[in-house]
Every structure is written in C-alpha cells, then in structure tokens.
Amino acid sequence: MPGQAVNPFLPSYEYVPDGEPHIFDDRLYLFGSHDRFNGLSFCQNDYVCWSAPLTDLSAWRYEGVIFRKSQDPHGHKGLLNALYAPDVCRGPDGRFYLFYFIGYTGVISVAVSDEPAGHYERLGSVRYRDGMILGRQNEPLQFDPGVFVDDDGQTYLYTGFGPVGYPLMGGRRATEQGAMCCELEPDMLTIKSGPSYIGVPAKPRAAGTGFAGHEFFEASSMRKFDGRYYFIYSSYLGHELCYATSDSPQGPFRLGGTLVSIGDVGLRGIASPSHAANFTGNTHGSIVKIDDDYFVFYHRQTNRHQFSRQACAEQLTMREDGGFDQAEITSCGLNRQPLAGKGTYEASIACHLSGRRGTRFYGVVKPPKDHEPFFTQTGRDREDKPDQFVANVCDGTVIGYKYFDFDDTKAISVRLRGDAKGVLQVSTAEEGQLVGVIPVNATKQYRDYFATTTRLSGKAALYFTFHGHGHFDFLSFTLS
C-alpha cells in the first residue's frame, strides 16, 4: 500500500540479504549482497543498491547495479565465487568506498565511487605497508567486511569468520579467536595497525567470556551512538543478530544482548528454532538511527532454503543504560505504527509462518514440501512483476501478521488457489479467540473468499489457521 512500509520492505521479487543501512545526506541507502531467486548458492547476483528518503521509509528506489563480479580479477564463474556481504563508508576525501570480498579468496577488496549509489570502480585489495595483501600470510580467513569511520576521521575495518568443524575453501582457517579489527590509512587500502582481536570470541574461545551461547560467527558491523561503540554480528546460532559494546572501536567489547531473531527465539518463552515463530536460517544486518528512532535491519529466509533471502527491518527500543531490547519481528517494521485496517496486503508480508510440525532451521538443500508452507514466487529470478505468495498451505498451517489498527475494520477476504477444502480460522492472536471463519474450496485459479468479522478493534495481530484437506497458495488478503 502507498505510504506504508511493510516487511519485507523492498518489492517481493528482490532478494537483498546482509543489509548495511547508511544515511548519506537526506537518504537512507541499503547496501547488501544479492541473492538469486531459487539460486543454487549464496549471493549469486551482482551488487545493487536501494535507497529511500528519510521522510518516507516506504518509498524505496532502485538505484541499479553498483558493482559487477566481472570487475574483480577473481570474478570468474562458479557457485562459490560470488560477491558476498559488503559494506560502504564515506572516506576522508568525500568519496564512497565499497568494501567487499569475492569467493573464498580470503582477500578484502575495495571499490570507489563519487556517489553512494553510483557505479563503483575497483581500487585494489587491503594490504600491509610492505604491499603484502591482508589474508595471504597464512592468516585467518577474511570474511564479511564491516567498515566504520570514526568522528576523528580514522577508518576501521572489521572482519572474521567462526565456523567449527568443517574445512574452508583454499585451505584458509576459521577465526577461532573471534572478530578482528584493522586501522586503515586515508588511502582506504593500507593497514595502519592490526589486525587485532576485539574481544568478541568465536565458539572455541567463548567459555568464561560472557559470550557463551551468543558466540561470534560472522557479519561484522560497527555503529556509534552517544559516544559508545556497538559491534553488531551474527551469532553462532545463525538466526539472531547480537551486539556488544565498548568505549573504544578496538575493544575490548562486552556482550550487550540479542537485537533480533528471525524466529523471535528468545521472546515470549521461545527457546529454539523448532518452536520459532518462523522458519529460520542465517541472518546479517546492522542498526541505523533516523531522527530519534533506532532500527535493526536483518534478512529472512524464503523458498525453503538459505539462498533466496529478503531484507527486513524492525524498530528498536534503547534503554536508559544504552542497551537495546530484543526487537519483535513484525509485518510493519519501518512503518513506526500499525498498518491500516483497510486495504489489500500481500500474504508474503507474514512475520509468523509455521506448519503442523512447527518450524525449523533451513539448510542448503530443499526438503520435501508435504507439510511445510513457505514463501515463494512464480517463474525465474527477475527485477519486476512481484507476485510472491505463501505456498503449500495445508492442515495445521499458521500464518501471522503484526500489527494492524482494526478500529474501522468490518470484513476480511483472502485470495487463494489450490485443491484444498476446509476452513481458515481468523483470530487476533495465535491460538486466540476467533473473530471470523472463512470456508475454503478447491479452485484452479485465484479466487476471493470472504468472512464478516466480529470483535475487531485497536492494535492487534492477524492470524490465519487452516484446518482441512489438500493444499493452497495464499496470494493476498483485503481488510474492509
């Protein structure tokens, strides 16, 4: 709907995970990797950029491709030779610098542009003063660069990768000690000092540090608010973004907590991905402050694996002590308020999706789909004509949306297709009191089914639970 921000906040044909939000002048820019719908691996497409005016976070504009894999000397074809999670900063010369890595080369490279969403040209690879490339001296694998420019103009580069128990490409080794930091010279390529460890340990070194259970895995990102440094990272659990704080950009850092879990694990007694509010997988993102509001950007999973991920965001609450409460995943994150109780919404903005066997952590192989609902689209990867929907809705499927203003809502209709026969129960909370029932019958083409609702008022969630036989695709719903 025009003028309202929903999750995912980009068009539903767009798959931009690993999002780094940055404000340059009067616009918010999202930089990330670029998944291919129904891809065979992570980040198979070239880097693109999206931006929105700070005054309207629903009005995202496609800025186009900003850097292509073919511009890098290592950019040959291959599933594992993709452009992975990047970051961008404004350098001391006023230009914009894209820090990226390609494949498992273990090398962090840099491209430069005169505009934040302009076409970036490769500058070179991060190196020591003697010219040796960072990551080429039997060093831990350089991975997921995060770049930060402090108030004094000093640039810091953060990297690291903390898997346990499996080999890495090219013989590189994991970062057992955790996240690393380098100071960079003004040329944005030469290491001034480092790399050094910042006190955010990976799993093998986390015992007794305060990070146990939320160990560093990947996705380094740095922010600074009110003089305090916030290191954001994806934990070993995968489904959550955590943060740590310090009085110095080089640490040592102390665990702050969880910013967001893409299955709300950690909220309302949800203890594991098998009981999560959504199917989970890895996530990656960071924080941005807009006026007096804080938002955490992250990505969700679609299409029953980890290779078609989409950008989402939620509003954060900062406590008086400078810490953040864990955000709840919603359908209205950047909107700052509940969605209107009138209008048509894509079914794919659901923030809660589970099957009769609950949820699980997605792997890299698609499972049989007999009992699992999932987000998907028709056709191949593209940059137009969004038609994402919730597929394979069957007996026991729960689809939830948060939140709406229902003060003026009198009826609900849903647009479905499939061979199902049964009822959709409508409620304003999971397993809550019914406010409507929608009979569903088999239809080969999309068809609208209607229900008059009762007891709808105020801010509330919207849940659909199907009971019956067969399966259907859920395209959209209309509140009137």
Q: Is 18 a catalytic residue?
A: yes
- What is the H or E stretch that residue 111 is in? strand 109-113
Burial tier of 244 (Cβ tally within 10 Å: 0-12, 13-18, 19+) = buried
Residue 204: cis peptide before it, omega within 30 degrees of 0: no
**Active-site residue flag, 115:** no
Q: How far apart are CA 236 and CA 205, in angstroms?
A: 12
Q: Is the dihedral of CA 78, 84, 88, 91 positive or negative?
A: negative
Is the peptide bond prior to 158 cis by the omega test (within 30 degrees of 0)? Answer: no
The answer for residues whose C-beta is within 8 angstroms of residue 431's C-beta and 6 or more apart is none
- Which tokens in the block code for residue 245? 């704080």
Interatomic CA distance for residues 65 and 126, integer angstroms: 23
Q: Which of 35, 144, 215, 218 is catalytic?
A: 218
Which residue is associated with the tokens 């057992």? 176
User: CA of 153: how far to CAs of 232, 241, 247, in Å?
Assistant: 21, 27, 17
Tell me if 417 sits within 8 A of 446, measured CB to CB: yes
Q: What is the DSSP string of 41-65?
A: SS--SPEEEEEEETT-TT--EEEEE
d(Cα 199, Cα 195) in Å, to the nearest integer? Answer: 13
How far apart, in Å, are the Cα atoms of 241 and each of 32, 109, 213, 300?
A: 16, 25, 12, 12
Active site residues: 18, 218
